[in-house]
Amino acid sequence: MRTPNLADRLSTANAAKKAQLERAKHMAEDPERAQRLKARDEIGAARNRRITEREAARRAAREQEAAELAARQAAEAAAREAERKAREEAQARRSAEQTAREAAEIADREAMLAARRGVFDGQQRGAPTANPRVAARYKAA
């Protein structure tokens, strides 16, 4: 067996290169391969569509949740405002009632003091009073 020289090695390499190119051409022109590539592309496109649909659904759900949260917060704020107004009105009503009671007490006290002054203003010391027990003492004497 003889050792291959440079020319033999180059021709073998060329032959291998041509055979590889032929196999590549044959594979590139193969109709089954084209169908497999087309099916793979369709699978990828379908996967991308499903991903897009899921993202759209998630986005819609987030928007719906945000809208519900905003509505709930608005309702809570309105309820708090109504409660605050009711508390203020009740406080104002209690304050007005307290002021009216105090005014009535002051008026009663003033009327009582005025009545006492009216009874005792014209009297002198030792004179009969409006009190019946005291007046009875003066009549008896």
The residue with greater pLDDT, 111 or 44, is 44
Helix/strand/coil percentages in the chain, nearest 5 = 90, 0, 10
In whole angstroms, what is the distance from residue 79 CA to residue 101 CA?
32
Residue 57 has pLDDT above 90, yes or no: yes
Whole-number pLDDT of residue 1:
63
Give the whole-angstrom CA distance, residue 133 versus residue 63. 89
For residues 7-13, give the mean pLDDT. 91
Residue 125 confidence (pLDDT): 52
In the predicted structure, residue 103 carries a pLDDT above the cut 80: yes
Tokens of 70: 């905003």
**pLDDT tens digits along 114-139:** 887 765 555 555 555 566 666 666 66
CB 129 within 8 A of CB 123: yes
